A and B are shown apart, each in its own frame.
Chain A
Amino acid sequence: MKSRNSVPPAALDLVDLARRREDLSPAPPARLERATLELSLDGRRELVVVTARDGELRVVTAEGATEGPFVEAALALLAGVGGSPARSESPSSPGTERPPPRLPSPLGDALEELLIAVVRSGIEAAPSSTAVREALEHVLREAPRPTPPGLGRALARLRRALADNDVDMVSRILDGGARLARDLREELPTAEAHRRIAAWTHRSSQRHPSTQSISERELVEVGREWLPTAGTGSLQRRYLVCTQTGEVFREERSRGEEASVGPCPRVLRVGLATLEDGPAPRRIRLLQYEVSPALDARVHERLAEMAEREAERVVEHYRQVVRQYPALAEPVAILRADGRLREEGDSLALADDGGALVPLHAPAGIPEVLRERFIDACWIAGRLTESDGSVVLDPFSVGSVEGSSSRVVRL
C-alpha cells in the first residue's frame, strides 16, 4: 500500500479522512442502526440507506435497487473490507478517469433546466415563477409527441406538489427527472437506465426489452378515473384486477386516443396482452380480448376474497413501490371494508382486524356518499398516496352488496 501522504486530499474519502483525524480515540461502543451513505463509483453518485431491523439487514439505493455495485460497496465499507481509490494498491492519478460517453439530449437538458428553476426559486415561490413555468413548457416541447403518459403524469403531479408545498413529492419527481436526464445521455445505458427510460417514456429497447406478454387471463375492471396530465390534458386510467393472480394492472388512454372498449365495470377474457415493466400497477395493453359488461356472482366473490385485510401490508406495499419508482409510483389497493368504515375526526378511515387504520383522503362529497350509501361496503378501491407522512387511500370505487345482487360503483 502506498503511503497515505502521497495521495492528494481531494481523492480521500470519508473513511480515510476519519482515520487521519488526530483526535481519533477509542469511542464508547455504539450501536449503528441506520446509515445513509453517499457513494461515488465510476463517475456516478448514489445514496444507499442501510438499516438493521429485527436482526435483518436492509440495503436499498435511492433508486430502489437492492443489489448492484453500490449496494456491495456500501456493505463492504460498513464491514470494513474493500476501500476507496486512496486505499487501493494501484490508485488512479487524478485526471486520468475518462468520463463515460455522452449523447446530446434536448429532453435531458429541459429536465435539468426544470430542476434548476425549481430549486433556485424554491417550492414556495415556484407556482408563480415565470422561470418554472417556462421550464415546464420547455420539457413538454422537447418530450416525444404525444407526451408519454408517464412523463405527463409526473409533470402534472409536480405542478400539484408545488402548489401544495409538498417537499417530498417535489424532491422525488425532480430527482427522478434528473436521473432520467442522465440516462438519456448514456450512449450505452445500463439495464437499470433502460428500465427507467421505459418507465417514463413507455419506449422499450430491443437490447433490454421492458415488456412481456401475457395470455389466457381473466381481468375485471374495478375502477376508472380521469387524472390530470401535462401535455395531453387528462388521462383516463382503468384498473384491471387479474382474478387468477390478484395483481392490479392499469390501462391508460389520453383524450382522443383509443384503448380497449367497454364500460366500467366489465370482465375481460384476455387472449393476448403486453405488460410494461414499471411502477405498480403495471401498465397493460390489451391486444386480443373479449369483453362482457356483466359481472357474475363468482367474480364478485373473487374480488371480495382478493381485497387486502391488513393495514400494515398496505403500507408496506406502498413503501415498496415508492422505493422502486419514487417519482412515478401511484400504487393502488383494494381494501376489505365489510362495515369497517370509521369516523376519524372529520374524515373516514378503514380499520383492519387489529384496529390499525388506513385513512381515506377523498375529494369533497365522496365521504358523505360513503357514509350515506356505502357504510357497509364490501371493499373500497383507490390510489395510495401520502398525507402528513401517513399512507392514505384516495378511493375511486366501491364494491357493495344490496339484497341478492352485488355491484361495483364508481365514486
Chain B
Amino acid sequence: MSERFEPRVARLRRALLEGLGKASSAEVRQELRLETDAPDLEAARSLVQIVSACSVAVAGEGELADEERASRPPPGAPPEPPTSAADMSILGRMDADETFSTEDLDDVETLLGFLRAGSLRQRRAALGRLVAMHEDRELAAPDADRLADIASQAGDHALELELAEAREKLGGAGARAARQARERWAKLVTEVEEQVRAYWEGERSEEPLATMPGDDRAELFLRARQLPEMLVAHAAAVLEGDAGSGSQRELLSSIRHAGDPRLVPTLLTLLRQGGQDVAMEAARALRPIADPRVRPVLAEQYERSRHDGPKALIAGALGEHGDPRGREYVRSLLDRGETPVLEAALEALETLGAVEDTPRIAALLEHEDERVVHRALRALRRVADGRALSSLQKLARTPRGARHGAELDEARETILARVDLRGEEVEPEQTTALRTVEETRPALGGKRFAAWRSYAMGHLWLAFGAVERARRRLERAASLRPGWVWPHLVIGIAYARRRQHAIALSAFRRAIEVDRIRVERQPLAIRAAARCFLRRAEQVAGDGRVDVARGLVAEARELDLRRVDRALRFELERRWDALQRAV
C-alpha cells in the first residue's frame, strides 16, 4: 500500500476500534473526505468500506500493526486448575508425578490394590502391568487366580474392554467364557454392520441401534474402541440427529462407558449444545475418555454452565481428567435438598471426593431416597476412606442394607484396598464380611429321593418340549424339598428361553425367596434371572406401565449382580436411570 495511504488507513482503523464517539468524529469525517456534518450513516458506510477494501486487498499477506495486535485479547485458554494439597502416599505420587507409573511396580499386592481402588487411569495401568507380568511368567499361580477372579467379578464398566482382554489371557474357565463372549460380540458386530449398511442403502427402514435389545447394545458399546469405523460413524450420526431416527437419548446413555476417542467430536457437540439431560449424559460419556480435546471443552463448559446437574457432572468429568476446579462447588451442593442435585453431586464426588468428605457422604446413607443411598455408596467406594467402614457396617445391619448387599461388599473391599495402599490399618472387626451365607436345612432322605426323581422327570419333559408337564414335575420336586432352589430356576430358565418372561419371573422370584444367596452366586442362575427382569421390564414399559417396569428393575438391582455380564448389568443401570427420568 502506498505510503500516503498507510497512515490514513491506520487512522481509520483506529477510529473503528475506538468509535466515532471517542475519536474526534470531525477529523474522521475529514479523513473520509466528507462534510463535517455528514450523517453518521454515511460516515459509518465510508469508514467500513475503506477499511474493508484495504484489508481485502492485503488479505493473507499483511501483518497486524503492533498496536492492534496488543489490543486483541489473548487466545482463550481454559484457566489452569487449582492445585490440590500434595498426597504423599503412593496413590498421590502416581497422580502427581507423571514419570511414576505402575511400570515401576512389581509388588502384586500393591498392583491388585490399585486395580481395586485406584483412579481409572491407575486401574487401567495396574491391570496392564499385571497382565504383562502374567505373560512374562512373573505372576505366581495363586496371584493369577486372584487376578482372574477380580477380572471376572469387577463391576467396572469403564474398564470392561481391558478386563475382557485380561480374562482371555489369564486362562482357565474364565478365559473360555471370555473368548466365547468375544466371539459373540464379534458376531453381533458383523450383524449390526450389515444392518447399518442396509439401513443407509435403503434396504431397511428401521435404524438398527434403536431396535436392538438394550443389553445387546450395551454389549456392543462396552467394547466400542474395537468397533469398526463405520459403526462408530453411524453412532455419531444417530447422536447428532443425522440418522433420521429418534434414538439419540437411548444411545447416548448406552455409550456412557464406551471410552472411544472417535466419539469425542460428537460428545463435545452434545455437551455444548444439548439440553440439560443431554449435556449430563455427554459429560458422563466424556469422563472416561483420555483425549487432549476433552479437558479444555469441559473446563469451558464448566465455567459457562448455569444448571447444577450438568455443572456437577462436568466437574466430576474434569476431576477424572485431573482437574479439581469444581470440588468446592460440588461440595456445596451436598447441602441442597433436591434429590437430582444430590445425586449429581455424589456422582461427581466419585472423582473429586477427598477423605475429608467421608462424614458428609456417609451421613447420606440414611437418606430417604434409595437413589441417593446408591450414589452415596458409590462415592464412598471411590473416596475409599477407612472411616466409612463403620457407616457401611451400620447400613448392612438394617433391612435397607440387604437391598444394597453387593454394593456394600464392593465398597468395603475397595476401601480396604485403598487403606492398605496408604499404608494404614483399620479395626479388625471392620474387616469382616458384611453378609454371610445362610445355611439351609436338608430335606429328609425319602422325600429327597422323590424330589430328585421329579426333578429328573421335569428335565426329561423339557427335553421333549412339554413345558407344562415339566413345570408340574419341577414344582412337585420343589414342594418335596423346600429350600431347594434348582427346580424353580429350571422353570424360570425354560420359560425365559421361550420368551414367556411373565411366567419365568414368578419362578425366579420363588427361587430368590427360597435361597437368594445361592441364586446370586450361580452365574447361570443370576444371569438368567436378571435378564428376565430386564426383558419383562422392557415389555411392560413398552405397554406404558412405567411404574411396574421401574419396580421390576429396582427388584433386579437389589440382587448381587457381580456375576452377571457387564453389558446386562450396565443396561439395568441405564434402564433404571431412564425410568427414573420418566417419573
Chain A residues with CB under 8 Å of chain B are 33-36, 38, 45, 47, 49, 51, 60, 62, 64, 112, 115-116, 118-125, 163-168, 170-172, 174-176, 178, 225-226, 233-234, 236, 255, 258-259, 261-266, 290-294, 315, 318-319, 322-323, 326, 363-366, 368-369, 372, 386, 388-391, 407, 409-411
Contacts and interface: CB of A to CB of B under 8 A. Distances in A.
Contact of A390 (B33, B45, B60): B60
B432 interface: no
Contacts of A120: 19-21, 40, 44
A64 B59 CA distance: 13
A125 B19 contact: yes
Interface of B: 1-2, 5, 13, 16-23, 33, 40-41, 43-64, 68-69, 71-73, 77-78, 196-197, 200-202, 229-230, 233-234, 236-237, 240-244, 261-262, 265-266, 269, 272-273, 291-297
Contacts of A166: 72
Given A163-B73, A315-B60, A365-B293, A263 B233 contact: yes
Nearest to B19: A122
Q: Which 5 A-B pairs have the closest CB atoms?
A: A122-B19, A365-B293, A368-B292, A263-B237, A364-B296
A226 B57 contact: no
B293 A123 contact: no
B296 A363 contact: yes
A171 B33 CA distance: 19
A233 B237 contact: no
B292 to A, nearest CB: 4
Given A266-B200, A365-B294, 15 more contacts: A45-B46, A112-B41, A121-B19, A258-B244, A259-B242, A261-B237, A261-B244, A263-B236, A263-B242, A315-B60, A326-B52, A366-B292, A388-B63, A390-B60, A410-B266
A388 B63 CA distance: 6
Contact of A34 (B1, B16, B61): B1
Contact of A124 (B18, B41, B51): B18
Contact of B56 (A123, A291, A322): A322
A166 to B, nearest CB: 7
A47 B53 contact: yes
Contacts of A368: 292-293
Contacts of A165: 17, 68, 71-73
Contacts of A389: 58, 60-64
A119 B19 contact: yes
Contacts of B242: 236, 259, 261-263
Interface of B is mostly: helix
Contact of B44 (A115, A123, A261, A407): A115
B55 A365 contact: no
A315 B78 CA distance: 31
A170 B64 CA distance: 15
Contacts of B40: 116, 119-120
Residue from A166, A365, A372 with most neighbouring chain B CB atoms (10 Å): A365
Nearest to B23: A122
Contacts of B64: 388-389
A326 B265 CA distance: 29
Residue from A115, A263, A293 with most neighbouring chain B CB atoms (10 Å): A263
A364 B77 contact: yes
Nearest to B43: A119
Contacts of B244: 258, 261
Contacts of A118: 44
Nearest to B270: A226
B282 to A, nearest CB: 13
A365 B18 contact: no
A318 B21 CA distance: 34
Nearest to A48: B53
14 contacts: A119-B19, A120-B21, A120-B40, A122-B20, A167-B13, A175-B51, A175-B53, A225-B265, A263-B236, A293-B197, A318-B59, A319-B60, A365-B291, A390-B60
A157 B22 CA distance: 25
A174 B60 CA distance: 20
B236 A170 contact: no
A326 B56 CA distance: 7
Contact of A292 (B54, B60, B73, B200): B200
A278 to B, nearest CB: 17
Contact of A122 (B17, B50, B60): B17
A403 to B, nearest CB: 13
A119 B55 contact: no
A42 to B, nearest CB: 17
Contacts of A125: 19
Contacts of A64: 56
Contact of A236 (B68, B77, B196, B240): B240
Contacts of A122: 16-23
A62 B52 contact: yes
A318 B17 contact: no
Residue from B17, B48, B295 with most neighbouring chain A CB atoms (10 Å): B48
B75 to A, nearest CB: 8
B569 to A, nearest CB: 29
B234 A293 contact: yes
B108 to A, nearest CB: 31
Contacts of A116: 40-41, 44
A38 B21 CA distance: 25
Nearest to B245: A261
Contact of B59 (A236, A265, A292, A323): A323
A119 B14 CA distance: 11
A166 B72 CA distance: 7
Residue from A171, A261, A369, A388 with most neighbouring chain B CB atoms (10 Å): A171
A231 B236 CA distance: 25
B292 A372 contact: yes
A411 B265 CA distance: 6
A176 B45 CA distance: 10
A64 to B, nearest CB: 8
Nearest to A51: B57
A125 B49 CA distance: 20
A45 to B, nearest CB: 8
Given A292-B200, A294-B230, A174 B17 contact: no
Nearest to A407: B229
